[in-house]
Amino acid sequence: MRNQDLILVAKKCHVITAFRNTIGLPGHLSVRLQPNHPTDDPRGIAASMLDGLLYGSGDAVIGINPATDSIPALMDLYYLVDEVINQYEIPTQSCILTHVTNQIQLIEKGAPLDLVFQSIAGTEKANKSFGIDLAMLREAQSAALSLNRGTVKNESGGNNVMYFETGQGSVLSANANFGVDQQTCEARAYAIARHLSPLLTNTVVGFIGPEYLYDGKQIIRAGLEDHFCGKLLGVPLGCDVCYTNHAEADQDDMDTLMTLLATAGLTFIMGIPGADDIMLNYQTTSFHDALYLRKVLGLKPAPEFEQWLKKMQIMDEHGVVRAVTGQHHMLQNMPKHLLVAK
């Protein structure tokens, strides 16, 4: 199939999910607000969250890649994000991207967990290398559903509580592909995701590096393939439009890919300050990139989140993000983590 075929077919596939807002509606593009920090500093994380919210990002999820797997430190992160969501009454969900076994422990300890995260792959051997199996994922899903934290029902009358990440090359890098090509292995991962009815799934398309996707052209093609396969399999697929610093790619390639994917009906992209993740050390998409896509293609945030943006005077009635002054309500009532002296 040509690139235009991958775009045209995917555009016809609508996968709609819900937790505290509705994700995947036609004409909408959501954003994962990714406020990572290399030391999990709460001031740095809170500042990035506030920055992203004021640019209209965060309707897909506020999702943090933690620098540590310490259970007490992870608990602090859950309470930090939950405090911000509750303080501003934001119709969105949070996720801390630690191993699923940690999240099960944290649920047992009373963490305010919204979504369960896990990286998944397309073969049993690769998933074992991640320390997971289907039974473990089902246990985590059941635990998250028992918390009953979602407020918006999906088409089946329930909530979607899982968040998965995938990426071409992960199975090959684990020597677990059994001679099968990386695109087929990737599509098999989407079948696993579909089995657990996730709120969100995204391919981290260029993150694994040039050993598997050598240059910008290959990353663009892989991103379109992944989105096509995911949507065709009924998965709410987003994309971390990204590359590593040693790949033969640049931000112009990412501009091309994110524009093609948004045209194809992509569910969500990432939003990181300046498109530069200072914890994971790779190049991805920014809050401004989401504004560009929404403006050029006439796309909107999730409807509940859009209404919140307008209520908070972040977005005007035409869907344009407003200029922010120091007198803005959110700056006058900042999270306590930003106000605590170091």
Residue 326's pLDDT is what? 87
To which H or E segment does residue 32 belong? strand 30-33
**pLDDT value of position 336:** 75
Nearest to 21 by CA among 140, 164, 154: 154
Lowest mean pLDDT among 2-6, 107-111, 210-214: 210-214
**Counts for the chain of helices (H) and strands (E), in that order:** 14, 12
The CATH code of domain 3-328 reads 3.20.20.70
Amino acid 210: pLDDT: 83
Rounded-to-integer distance, Cα 44 and Cα 39, Å: 9
**Percentage of the chain exceeding pLDDT 70:** 99
What integer pLDDT is reported at residue 341 of this predicted model? 53
Model confidence over 17-71: pLDDT tens digits? 999 999 999 999 999 999 999 999 999 999 999 999 999 999 999 999 999 999 9
User: Per residue in 108-155, pLDDT tens?
Assistant: 999 999 999 999 999 999 999 999 999 999 999 999 999 999 999 998
